[in-house]
Amino acid sequence: MTTLFVRDATLDGATVSVRCEDGLIAALGDDIEAAPGDEVLEAGDAILCPPLVNGHTHAAMTLFRGYGGDLPLMRWLRERIWPAEDRLDAEDVYWGTRLACLEMIRSGTARFWDMYWEPEAVARAVVDAGLRVTVGPPLLDGDGDRGRPRDAAETSLELAGFHERVGASIAPHAIYTVDETSLRFAAGFAAGHDLPVQIHLSETRAEVEECVREHGMRPAAYLDAVGLLGPRTLLAHGVWLDEGELELIAERGATVVTNPVANQKLAVGGVFPYPAARDAGAAVGLGTDGPGSNDSLDLFADVKAFALAQKHAAGDAAAISAADAWDIATGRRAPLLGARPLAPGEPADFLLLRAAASELAFGELAEGLVYSASGSVVDATVVAGLVLMAGGAVPGAEEVVAKARERAARIGLG
Amino acid sequence: MTTLFVRDATLDGATVSVRCEDGLIAALGDDIEAAPGDEVLEAGDAILCPPLVNGHTHAAMTLFRGYGGDLPLMRWLRERIWPAEDRLDAEDVYWGTRLACLEMIRSGTARFWDMYWEPEAVARAVVDAGLRVTVGPPLLDGDGDRGRPRDAAETSLELAGFHERVGASIAPHAIYTVDETSLRFAAGFAAGHDLPVQIHLSETRAEVEECVREHGMRPAAYLDAVGLLGPRTLLAHGVWLDEGELELIAERGATVVTNPVANQKLAVGGVFPYPAARDAGAAVGLGTDGPGSNDSLDLFADVKAFALAQKHAAGDAAAISAADAWDIATGRRAPLLGARPLAPGEPADFLLLRAAASELAFGELAEGLVYSASGSVVDATVVAGLVLMAGGAVPGAEEVVAKARERAARIGLG
């Protein structure tokens, strides 16, 4: 049994230690001691903190960074991304995902939701890196052999038993790339096999207009009509959702994951209506989107971008508090995402933040985390009781970067 | 004479070394050698890069971080900032500024423009930290004893000979806090003593409306009418400038410094019209604004926020390129800011960026710098030929943080 003892961290101003057994928190408090044989991590007053949750990404797209990122969306996709994706194989996806995992470990993300080709390679990379993922291959119509609904669904199902840190999902790409028959199939398959669903929804205004024109209703209502809007549905983006849709989403218990940086970088033109989502009672999470359209995986940057975009859009500096934004970034406003509290019996996933970091040393901690800090304040990342980073160092990091560069070069990038 | 030899850095794909003598670059190339007695810094293929320039801040406000940053602007000022500023003394400003300098060194900023109380303490802190600053105390009417125009101007003048890395400036606070007589006085004083001018301009819509109502013209025209719009004028914010104002600013050779993060955090409601400024030929720089309203001093975050805000506002992912944004962040689009090229005979100010940083290892370097990187990619910061940081370590950092925390506690913050 793997055991870990983290000595003398700071939690809510008090000094606490944490003992982990077999991937879970066995004890947390000021009066616990290490047992013989425990691996010991001296926290040295570092701040004990829940990890961040990246609710939407395409992790392997680290390989596509810096590759035409200032082009208009359709030119970027047609001239750069799609031709390069045609050249991707499983090993490319594996190393692109490993690189993403490395950057997530460094910046305090323990868990992410991923939609990408070669999902078995994604899952392998995540397991090898030590993180947690909910993964699914894009399911779509009309892209040749790739993504065919039945194949994609079967591939998802095969991943269900892959590893305890890997969750499988059904991932219909979007309502404009998957026809109604296939959406209904995806809904039935997900329900039949008890799998969550992730889908891009309401990212661009054109998508909304096309949906209304073709189906006579807005995207969330259409998703509901085809049976895909439920408590295990994750909707990525949601930029153009209106109040009625947000009420429906809340009623069905679905989760919206906002991707503020990617929305701005791709210039979709709108801002996710968080105040309306909050008022409707909808579950909300935060994502980076793929590193080709962000291009960072440091969620500390995205939680700040989220809060700033909300203040800007509302014309009100008080539109969202740092504490709210931080809760969203750590998955506490969306149970579907899988984050759990720091408590005995729960998964041993947590961060240690450098106590000496001046970004966190003044005023309210939540304001420091959201407005001052970057991922570089993370000193240690622990997932399932395993120390993935300590003292800012991730074992094997150089090999991961070198291999990812080789794979990018292989497909003509890098 | 102080000499430094930086061996084997990477510049535009080639390996180069840099030799610095007495604050200047003496030689730069692939065929130079260290001289006996040179301090040697092994770059190990790190990327040689110009430093960033923070065109507008109130550095000592590090002490005010996390202190009501989600309040609406006027409540934040009236309930938190102004009462705390009333308690500030020169030592508070010194240590608040030292902390800001520490964070700027870590994130690659070599030079900044500062407007704050106790400017002599600001200047001392900057000199002790090793950076460069153009400093000036706020000049304003009606704030009791503080900022009285003649006193402020005389204080600025006294700083003119303070140190070779300190520039003095006249800093009228804004057109809504300084009356016309005092603005004309500031213009005359600056011209008479050959000092640059820095002023907040067109930050809020209310300021523009009030200016039009009271003076019958928009802010830039009013500034021109009182003699303050010239080639040595720095205008902070410029959110609401219209095309006519931008043409006037370009004609007069003045510089606009945009502060995208602070504008969003304070929810001013608009975005600096960069495309119009570029089309008019206006000089443009980038600033963080004070760390109480950002709250970071890492300009890598702000250059990304700038590019994203421009793409979002234009509804066009191609509205600004990473290379353009990076040039603006390094001061290359605004000669007034003082940045100089990396070349023999020029000031020895430069950065070494970690070659192994995966954020910079894929695709175009400019895209990596703007979209993927944070300040944590900076490995070494050299200013005036002095190594202020190497291997990510700044000597004396812990004392600076500790002292700043003491000062914040003294004035009832922290």
pLDDT, one tens digit for every residue, chain B (414 residues)? 689 999 999 999 999 999 999 999 999 999 999 999 999 999 999 999 999 999 999 999 999 998 888 887 788 888 988 888 889 999 999 999 999 999 999 999 999 999 999 999 999 999 999 999 999 999 999 767 788 999 999 999 999 999 999 999 999 999 999 999 999 999 999 999 999 999 999 999 999 999 999 999 999 999 999 999 999 999 999 999 999 999 999 999 999 999 999 999 999 999 999 999 999 999 999 999 999 999 999 999 999 999 999 999 999 999 999 999 999 999 999 999 999 999 999 999 999 999 889 999 999 999 999 999 999 999 999 999 999 999 999 999 999 999 999 999 998 886
CA B165 to chain centre: 14
How distant is the Cα of B379 from the closest Cα of chain A, in angstroms?
A: 13
Structure confidence at residue A75 as a pLDDT band (50, 70, 90): confident
Q: Which pLDDT does position B185 carry in this prediction?
A: 97
* Interchain contact, A317 vs B70, CB within 8 Å: yes
Q: Which residue of B has its CA nearest to A319?
A: B70
Distance (Å) from the C-alpha of residue B338 to the closest C-alpha of chain A?
27
pLDDT of residue A309: 98
- Token pair recorded at residue A276: 């309306």
Query: Which residues in chain B have their CB less than 8 angstroms from residue A258's CB?
Result: none
Q: In sequence order, what are the beta bridge partners of A114?
A: A57, A135
Q: Which residue of B has its CA nearest to A323?
A: B70
Domain regions of chain B by residue span: 3-50+345-391, 52-337
Nearest alpha-carbon partner for A325 in A268, A255, A260: A260
| Residue type present at position B69 | G
pLDDT for residue A145: 77
- Helix axis angle, B397-410 relative to B90-106, nearest 10°? 140
* Domain over A3-50+340-397 is classified CATH 2.30.40.10: yes
Structure confidence at residue A143 (pLDDT): 66
DSSP A347: B
Among the partner residues B264, B322, B398, nearest to A69 by beta-carbon distance: B322
Q: Which amino acid is at A5?
A: F
Is residue B327 reached through a cis peptide bond, with omega within 30 degrees of 0 on the bond before it? no
- In this structure, what are the phi and psi dihedrals at residue B399, rounded to the nearest 5 degrees? -65, -40
CATH pick for B52-337 out of 3.50.50.60, 3.30.300.130, 3.20.20.140, 1.10.150.120:
3.20.20.140
What fold characterizes domain A52-335?
TIM Barrel (3.20.20)
Nearest to B253 by CA among B222, B226, B284, B274: B284
Instruction: Report the pLDDT value the prediction gives residue B143, as an integer from 0 to 100.
Output: 66
Which structure tokens are listed for A353?
A: 């933040």
Write the residue in B102, B267, B319 that is nearest to A312 by C-beta: B267
Residue with tokens 């006193």: B151
A315/B99 touch (CB, cutoff 8 Å), yes or no = no
Tokens describing residue B6: 């930086």
Q: What is the mean pLDDT of chain A?
A: 96
**Residue B209: its pLDDT value, please?**
98
Task: Name chain A contacts of B314, Cβ cutoff 8 Å.
Answer: 267
Inter-chain CB proximity A358 and B103 less than 8 Å: yes
For residue B150, give both structure tokens. 């003649």
Report the distance separating Cα B367 and Cα A68, nearest Å.
Answer: 9
Rg (CA), chain B: 21
Q: Which residue of B has its CA nearest to A61?
A: B362
Residues B66, A315: C-beta atoms closer than 8 Å: no
Query: What tokens appear for A200 in the block?
Result: 């891009």
Tell which residue, B188, A277, A181, A104, has the closest CA to residue A114. A104
Q: How far apart are CA B236 and CA B233, in angstroms?
A: 10
- Is B63 in a helix, a strand, or coil? helix
Beta-carbon count within 10 A of A358 CB? 27
Residue in chain A lying closest to B71 (CA):
A318
Partner-chain contact A69 B375, CB within 8 Å:
no
Contacts of B301 in chain A (CB under 8 A): 301, 304, 374
Between chains, do A358 and B67 touch, taking CB under 8 Å as contact?
Answer: no
Predicted confidence (pLDDT) at residue A72 exceeds the cutoff of 90? no
Instruction: Determine the residue of chain A that is closest to B358 in CA distance.
Output: A401
Query: Which amino acid would we find at residue B54?
Result: N
Using an 8 Å CB-CB cutoff, list chain A residues near B372: 65-66, 291, 294-296
- Residue A7: alpha-carbon gap to chain centroid: 29
- What residues pair up with A18 in beta bridges, in sequence order? A6, A28
Domain B3-50+345-391: CATH architecture, name and number where available? Roll (2.30)
Check CB contact under 8 Å for B362 and A309.
Answer: no
Say how far apart CA A186 and CA A229 lie, in whole Å: 12
Alpha carbon distance A405, A413 (integer Å): 9
Closest CA to A94 of A396, A384, A403, A411: A403
Which H helix or E strand runs over B151? helix B149-158
Contact present, A28 and A342 (Cβ < 8 Å): yes
Model confidence pLDDT, tens digit, residues A359-394: 999 999 999 999 999 999 999 999 999 999 999 999
Gap from B6 CA to chain A (nearest CA, Å): 24
Report the largest interatomic distance among the alpha carbons of chain A, rounded to a whole angstrom: 67
Q: Which is nearest to B337 in space by CA: B169, B108, B188, B201?
A: B169
B359: chain A residues, CB-CB within 8 Å: 103, 295-296
pLDDT at A329: 98
**Of A31, A27, A26, which Cα lies nearest the Cα of A14?**
A31
Q: Contact, B400 vs B95, CB < 8 A? A: yes
Give me the residue label for tokens 């940057």.
A301
Tens-place pLDDT, residues A124-164: 999 999 999 999 999 999 767 788 999 999 999 999 999 99
